């Protein structure tokens, strides 16, 4: 009989069952069974009695699964309870020293949580060229997380981000085939969100999160890059060193605008800085953090915006407190040269890059000259416009370590964000067995790719809108429904830009 995903959480497959059972107590949980309190043991029994979701497996396996889930419940609770005391370490205060190998369970939990916030950009984006709303977000700002079933994350979206489609990145920008469309120049590019009061208490600080949309269905966008470094200061981003350079396509995407478009009359840069300024002012009396996340091209934009926030001094409060800025990057490319890397380090921007070692995107641009080249070669190539260097700390994962995934899947699968979150869930350290730590559903991997082994019976690319969004009207005919107009820019945006010295008289 073909193995199901639910069965696999216990047995993986018949060849992995013994491995799973022997490793569960020693590697899977941060709280070993022998150290459980009486209340925790009672919690296990209570959850076990109430859980009957795995009717297709034997009684012994059912009991093991119930205890497995109960232990997860306690482990997640324990990790959350320690977060207010260790959030600065999790946020990169010490460059994640001692947290990656072995993998700290709280860090893993937080990486998956922010990765899901990046994944939300894909899940909410309208990719359908036969929709007049192609290139937009499918949900209104106020209903964003609830529409995605993510209300439990405890964040409120405060504004949407838009980028102009004038840049030559056709695999990032999507447009409708219909002449009547929501915008001819704009694409939805992500969002800014802030933790609500309950989540703020759990995190130990008020967290401002910026999530950038990336590229998920094609790798051709790498070829779209101009692969040409230019000074970051050439696009009006402050920098005291003219030798600090970044890839020109990323820079244009971040700073370009279209005066004739309501959504793009402000650049993505202006949208980010004004909103972060507004939120920092609003919560100035609280402990704060700024966390920026993104996948693929979104990772490059996350690093650029983190640099910008700190270089402009926007994160420095009136009482001279510096709000920590951290980037949690997933499958991101190189962004700039070695001078850019050094400048980020000087400014104190913390970057943790999670990558799949088989993914080609983190290896670009800079195929010839990069941080892995001998120092003598990099010294000679420093002035060349093709010399790149990764920033921050890297957490390298390998999809061939997962018993769930097809090791010979195509290259696009290796770049998939859901697959990367799956790898995070099973990673415990170098050389350690792959064992899922949170029970995150492996079926999510195949949401937008074909990566799971066939015997798990999960169809590829299974996530889709019912009837491609068509509904039956009152007259019985099938139509594309109208959507509420998306928010463009807040009324006080010009005010905040003026305070930053960025206001333009022609807007």
Q: What pLDDT digit, counting tens, does each position of 108-126 carry?
A: 999 999 999 999 999 999 9
pLDDT > 60? residue 168: yes
What's the average model confidence in pLDDT over 351-364?
95
The pLDDT score that the predictor gives to residue 228 is 85
Question: How many angstroms separate the CA atoms of 41 and 62, rounded?
Answer: 18
pLDDT > 50? residue 34: no
Q: How far is CA 350 from CA 4, 113, 219, 461, in A?
A: 40, 18, 27, 34
What's the average model confidence in pLDDT over 472-500?
87
pLDDT > 80? residue 492: yes
**Among 195, 267, 296, 299, which one carries the catalytic annotation?**
296
**Which secondary-structure segment (H or E) carries 288?**
strand 288-295
**446 or 261: which leads in pLDDT:** 446
Question: How many angstroms separate the CA atoms of 254 and 302, rounded?
Answer: 10
The pLDDT score that the predictor gives to residue 68 is 52
What percentage of residues in the chain have a pLDDT greater than 90? 59
What's the average model confidence in pLDDT over 424-433?
96
Question: How many angstroms separate the CA atoms of 171 and 224, rounded?
Answer: 8
Q: Lowest-pLDDT range, 48-57, 66-75, 213-222, 298-307?
A: 48-57
What's the average model confidence in pLDDT over 379-391?
82
Closest CA to 314 of 275, 266, 267, 340: 275
The pLDDT score that the predictor gives to residue 210 is 98
What's the average model confidence in pLDDT over 401-412?
94
The pLDDT score that the predictor gives to residue 5 is 53
Residue positions counted in the chain: 507
pLDDT > 80? residue 4: no
Question: How many angstroms separate the CA atoms of 464 and 24, rounded?
Answer: 35
Dihedrals φ, ψ of 480, to 5°?
-85, 120
- Cβ neighbours, 10 Å, residue 460: 15
The pLDDT score that the predictor gives to residue 105 is 96
Entry pTM: 0.84
Question: How many angstroms separate the CA atoms of 113 and 354, rounded?
Answer: 13
**Which secondary-structure segment (H or E) carries 79?**
helix 59-90
Is the C-alpha dihedral spanning 164, 170, 171, 176 positive or negative? positive
The residues, ordered by sequence, that sit 6+ positions from 262 with a Cβ below 8 Å of its Cβ are 183, 488, 489
Closest CA to 199 of 157, 159, 156: 156
Q: Lowest-pLDDT range, 55-69, 158-172, 218-232, 233-247?
A: 55-69
Known catalytic residue at 91: no
pLDDT > 70? residue 195: yes
Q: How confident is the model at residue 14 (pLDDT cuts 50, 70, 90)?
A: very low
What's the average model confidence in pLDDT over 30-59?
43
Q: How confident is the model at residue 1 (pLDDT cuts 50, 70, 90)?
A: very low
Per-residue burial over 108-119, b if 16 or more Cβ lie within 10 Å, else e, is bbbbbbbbbbbb
Cis peptide before 365 (omega within 30 of 0): yes
The pLDDT score that the predictor gives to residue 107 is 98
- Is 452 within 8 Å of 405 (Cβ atoms)? yes
Question: Which tokens sit at 203?
Answer: 């995190």
Mean pLDDT score of the chain: 84
pLDDT > 60? residue 440: yes
- Cβ neighbours, 10 Å, residue 281: 12
Percentage helix, strand, coil for the chain under 3-state DSSP, each rounded to 5: 40, 15, 45
The pLDDT score that the predictor gives to residue 262 is 83
Question: How many angstroms separate the CA atoms of 247 and 231, rounded?
Answer: 9
Q: Lowest-pLDDT range, 69-78, 111-120, 142-151, 190-199?
A: 69-78
Question: Which tokens sit at 427?
Answer: 């990673």
**Which secondary-structure segment (H or E) carries 193?**
strand 186-195
**Among 126, 128, 359, 488, which one carries the catalytic annotation?**
359
Q: How confident is the model at residue 249 (pLDDT cuts 50, 70, 90)?
A: confident
What's the average model confidence in pLDDT over 386-414?
94
Three-class SS of residue 304? helix
pLDDT > 50? residue 448: yes
pLDDT > 80? residue 137: yes
Question: How many angstroms separate the CA atoms of 72 and 66, rounded?
Answer: 10
Question: How many angstroms separate the CA atoms of 391 and 209, rounded?
Answer: 20
Dihedrals φ, ψ of 489, to 5°?
-135, 140
| Partners of residue 325 on adjacent β-strands | 290
Question: Which tokens sit at 424?
Answer: 């995070």
**Helix 105-124 to helix 417-426 angle, to the nearest 10 degrees?**
160
Closest CA to 449 of 493, 419, 486: 419
pLDDT > 60? residue 217: no
Question: Which tokens sit at 57?
Answer: 């497996």
pLDDT > 90? residue 331: yes
Is the C-alpha dihedral spanning 61, 62, 68, 71 positive or negative? negative
Q: Lowest-pLDDT range, 46-50, 117-121, 166-170?
A: 46-50
Question: Which tokens sit at 257?
Answer: 């605008």
pLDDT > 60? residue 70: no
**167 or 214: which leads in pLDDT:** 214
Is the C-alpha dihedral spanning 323, 324, 328, 332 positive or negative? positive
Q: How confident is the model at residue 220 (pLDDT cuts 50, 70, 90)?
A: low
Known catalytic residue at 359: yes
Q: Lowest-pLDDT range, 82-91, 113-122, 332-341, 489-498?
A: 489-498
Cis peptide before 102 (omega within 30 of 0): yes
Known catalytic residue at 296: yes
**Among 415, 422, 428, 489, which one carries the catalytic annotation?**
415
pLDDT > 90? residue 171: no
The pLDDT score that the predictor gives to residue 273 is 96
pLDDT > 60? residue 157: yes
- Is 289 within 8 Å of 195 (Cβ atoms)? no
pLDDT > 50? residue 31: no
- Count how many Cα atoms sit within 13 Å of the Cα of residue 487 in the half-sphere of its side chain: 19
The residues, ordered by sequence, that sit 6+ positions from 389 with a Cβ below 8 Å of its Cβ are 334, 336, 337, 338, 340, 341, 366, 370, 371, 378
**Which secondary-structure segment (H or E) carries 378?**
helix 375-381
């Amino acid at each position: 009989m073909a193995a199901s995903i639910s069965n696999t959480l216990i047995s993986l497959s018949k060849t992995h069952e013994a491995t799973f059972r022997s490793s569960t107590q020693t590697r899977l949980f941060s709280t070993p069974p022998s150290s459980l309190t009486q209340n925790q043991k009672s919690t296990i029994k209570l959850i076990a009695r109430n859980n009957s979701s795995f009717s297709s497996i034997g009684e012994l396996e059912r009991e093991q699964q119930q205890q497995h889930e109960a232990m997860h419940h306690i482990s997640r609770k324990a990790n959350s309870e320690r977060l207010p005391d260790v959030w600065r370490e999790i946020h990169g205060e010490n460059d994640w020293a001692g947290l990656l190998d072995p993998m700290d369970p709280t860090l893993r939990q937080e990486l998956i949580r922010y990765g899901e916030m990046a994944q939300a950009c894909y899940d909410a984006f309208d990719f359908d060229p036969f929709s007049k709303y192609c290139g937009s977000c499918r949900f209104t700002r106020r209903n964003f997380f609830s529409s995605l079933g993510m209300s439990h994350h405890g964040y409120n979206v405060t504004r949407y981000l838009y980028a102009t489609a004038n840049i030559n990145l056709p695999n990032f920008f999507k447009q409708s085939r219909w002449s009547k469309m929501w915008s001819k120049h704009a694409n939805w590019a992500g969002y800014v969100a802030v933790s609500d009061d309950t989540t703020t208490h759990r995190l130990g600080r008020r967290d401002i999160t910026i999530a950038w949309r990336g590229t998920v269905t094609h790798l051709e966008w790498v070829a779209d890059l101009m692969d040409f470094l230019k000074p970051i200061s050439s696009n009006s981003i402050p920098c005291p060193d003219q030798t600090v350079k970044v890839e020109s396509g990323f820079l244009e995407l971040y700073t370009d605008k279209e005066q004739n478009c309501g959504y793009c009359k402000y650049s993505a840069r202006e949208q980010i800085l004004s909103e972060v300024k507004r939120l920092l002012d609003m919560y100035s009396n609280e402990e704060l953090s700024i966390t920026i996340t993104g996948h693929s091209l979104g990772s490059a934009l996350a690093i650029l915006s983190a640099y910008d926030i700190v270089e402009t001094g926007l994160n420095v409060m009136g009482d001279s407190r510096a709000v920590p800025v951290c980037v949690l990057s997933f499958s991101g490319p190189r962004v700039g040269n070695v001078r850019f890397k050094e400048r980020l380090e000087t400014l104190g921007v913390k970057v943790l890059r999670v990558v799949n070692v088989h993914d080609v995107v983190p290896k670009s641009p800079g195929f010839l000259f990069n941080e892995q080249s001998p120092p003598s070669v990099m010294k000679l190539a420093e002035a060349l416009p093709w010399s790149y260097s990764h920033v921050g700390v890297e957490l390298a994962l390998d999809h061939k370590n997962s018993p769930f995934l097809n090791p010979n899947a195509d290259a696009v699968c290796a770049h998939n964000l859901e697959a990367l979150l799956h790898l995070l869930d099973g990673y415990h350290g170098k050389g350690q067995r792959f064992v899922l730590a949170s029970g995150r559903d492996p079926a999510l991997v195949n949401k937008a790719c074909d990566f799971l082994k066939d015997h798990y019976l999960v169809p590829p690319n299974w996530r889709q809108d019912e009837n491609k969004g068509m509904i039956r009207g009152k007259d019985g005919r099938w139509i594309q429904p109208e959507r509420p107009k998306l928010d463009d820019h807040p009324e006080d945006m010009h005010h905040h830009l003026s305070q930053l010295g960025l206001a333009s008289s022609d807007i």
